[in-house]
């Protein structure tokens, strides 16, 4: 999809403008004593997995408005991520969803992914809807279901997801449960918790020893009175009872309004239990909007905790993933904007001087603490991010390149206007 010569010409047209901005920023970063080469490498190395379900047009229960050229199988989804990665050099991983993305030929898929420099991050199970081959229904729950035969089917599904992931080279399973109750009295809270723990234990014991189990939480939806795993505390309780290979996955949209997510991130890293991340943004709930589209300062504060946690704790490697639904924008454009926002927030957090911050904290000098954070946040780091991506061969402006190279038009020409993405 991306002609290297056209990408080169695209960059050449923008290079002198970029360099003007870059030289200016480089000088001020150097003056602040920042190791610029190290920072550039950190930004360039930071890879964010694209979820297979975000490449097609999402929708609401009221409607869906696809724009054509959607990937209708795993191969096409990986090719689309390859296109994103060629442009931004930052989307070198995919997070797939079973049963929507069951490969027909593991070797062919692995070869394609490796040619495009794409790794397989966490695989996702699905017990939130009934599949055509389901024997039992998940209407009243899956891993927490009152009936052992339903739990068994849900456990078996998760084991099969691990098998698919093992064949592809993935090393993590994400479990998000829709299990919960919509009416008081519907559930015995202790009962559903214990059954969930017992079911997860079977899945945990089945995992290869180099795998991790990521437990995602969500405060409400699809159930409105209680969720079996509503918050990070419950997720952590399950993970700590399961063992070292289990940890919590934080999805930015899965919190009640005004929750201090950066504090959750900080504490989970402190106890080495932050396993994965789902980036998105929201105004009301699980809106799944473009990362940084609504609350960029919160995203920056989260990254400040992540950067400090990566330096100061022994929290294991984190799976960085986007989890979004693109209802109005071209999904590929939205993903490029999301990855760009993530990198900008990361770059801002990297240029913050944490020694100065700690000194100010020691003196209880709150004004200086705030100034340090806001100086970093208000620094225009876009040339730094652009330079990092450009040095790795990416586009100086991925979104503009995507448009100038007519990618969507080409996708529609290849796949048609009515191609439908699986799972949506
Ligand atoms: Mn999620």
Comparing CA positions, the residue from 325, 262, 255, 303 lying closest to residue 283 is 255
CA 223 to centroid of ligand 1, rounded, Å: 16
Map tokens 């239990």 to a residue: 273
3-state secondary structure of 129: coil
**Coil, helix or strand at residue 194:** helix
Residue 227, SS3 per DSSP = strand
> Ligand 1 centroid to 216 CA: how many Å?
7
Dist. CA 50 → ligand 1 center (Å)? 12
CA of 20 to the centre of ligand 1 (A): 39
Which residues lie at CB < 5 A from ion ligand 1? 251, 278, 323
DSSP element (H, E) containing 269: helix 261-270
Pairing state between β 172-176 and 212-216: parallel
Distance 276 CA to ligand 1 centre (A): 10
CB count within 10 Å of CB 65 equals 9
Give distance in angstroms: CA of 4 to centre of ligand 1. 34
What tens-digit pLDDT sequence spans the chain (424 residues)? 899 999 999 999 999 999 999 999 999 999 999 999 999 999 999 999 999 999 999 888 899 898 899 999 999 999 999 999 999 999 999 999 999 999 999 999 999 999 999 999 999 999 999 999 999 999 999 999 999 999 999 999 999 999 999 999 999 999 999 999 999 999 999 999 999 999 999 999 999 999 999 999 999 999 999 999 999 999 999 999 999 999 999 999 999 999 999 999 999 999 999 999 999 999 999 999 999 999 999 999 999 999 999 999 999 999 999 999 999 999 999 999 999 999 999 999 999 999 999 999 999 999 999 999 999 999 999 999 999 999 999 999 999 999 999 999 999 999 999 998 877 7
This prediction has a pTM of 0.97
Strands 180-181 and 246-251: unpaired
What separation in Å is there between the alpha carbon of 39 and the centre of ligand 1? Answer: 29
Q: Identify the CA nearest to 180 among candidates 284, 267, 254, 92.
A: 254
Please, are residues 299 and 341 in contact by the beta-carbon 8 Å criterion?
yes
Cα 296 to middle of ligand 1, angstroms: 19
Starting at the earlier edge strand, list the strands of the sheet with 212-216.
119-120, 93-95, 49-51, 319-322, 274-279, 246-251, 212-216, 172-176, 123-124
Instruction: Compute the distance from residue 11 Cα to the ligand 1 centre, in Å.
Output: 34
- If you measure from the C-alpha of residue 390 to the centroid of ligand 1, how many angstroms do you get, rounded to a whole number? 30
Ligand 1 centroid, distance to 252 Cα (angstroms): 8
If you measure from the C-alpha of residue 288 to the centroid of ligand 1, how many angstroms do you get, rounded to a whole number? 9
């Amino acid at each position: 999809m991306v002609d290297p010569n056209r990408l080169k010409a695209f960059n050449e047209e923008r290079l002198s403008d970029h360099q003007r901005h870059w030289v200016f920023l480089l000088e001020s970063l150097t003056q602040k004593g920042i190791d610029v080469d190290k920072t550039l490498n950190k930004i360039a190395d930071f890879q964010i997995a694209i979820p297979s379900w975000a490449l097609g047009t999402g929708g609401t229960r009221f409607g869906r408005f696809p724009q054509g050229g959607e990937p209708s199988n795993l191969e096409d989804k990986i090719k689309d991520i390859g296109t994103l990665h060629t442009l931004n050099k930052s989307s070198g991983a995919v997070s797939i969803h079973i049963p929507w993305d069951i490969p027909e030929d593991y070797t062919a898929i692995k070869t394609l992914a490796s040619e495009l420099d794409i790794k397989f991050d966490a695989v996702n199970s699905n017990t939130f809807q009934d599949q055509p081959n389901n024997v039992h229904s998940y209407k009243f729950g899956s891993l927490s279901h009152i009936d052992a035969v339903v739990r068994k089917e849900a456990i078996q599904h998760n084991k099969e997801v691990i098998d698919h992931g093992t064949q592809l080279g993935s090393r993590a399973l994400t479990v998000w449960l829709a299990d919960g109750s919509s009416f008081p009295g519907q559930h015995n809270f202790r009962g559903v918790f214990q059954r969930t723990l017992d079911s997860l234990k079977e899945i945990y014991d089945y995992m290869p020893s180099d795998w991790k189990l990521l437990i995602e939480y969500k405060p409400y939806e699809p159930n409105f009175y209680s969720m079996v795993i509503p918050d990070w505390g419950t997720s952590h309780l399950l993970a700590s009872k399961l063992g070292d290979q289990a940890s919590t996955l934080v999805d930015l949209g899965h919190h009640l309004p005004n929750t201090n997510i950066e504090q959750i991130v900080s504490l989970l890293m402190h106890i080495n239990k932050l396993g994965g991340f789902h980036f998105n943004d929201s105004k009301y709930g699980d809106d799944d909007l473009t990362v940084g589209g609504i609350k960029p300062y919160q995203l920056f504060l989260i990254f400040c905790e992540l950067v400090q946690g990566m330096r100061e704790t022994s929290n294991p490697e984190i799976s960085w993933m986007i989890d979004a639904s693109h209802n109005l924008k071209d999904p590929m454009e939205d993903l490029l904007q999301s990855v760009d926002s993530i990198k900008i927030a990361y770059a801002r957090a990297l240029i913050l001087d944490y020694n100065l911050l700690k000194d100010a904290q020691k003196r209880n000098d709150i004004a200086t603490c705030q100034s340090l954070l806001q100086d970093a946040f208000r620094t225009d780091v876009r040339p730094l991010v652009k330079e990092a991506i450009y040095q790795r061969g990416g586009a100086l402006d991925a979104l503009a390149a995507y448009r100038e190279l007519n990618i969507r038009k080409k996708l529609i020409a290849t796949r048609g206007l009515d191609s439908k993405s699986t799972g949506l």
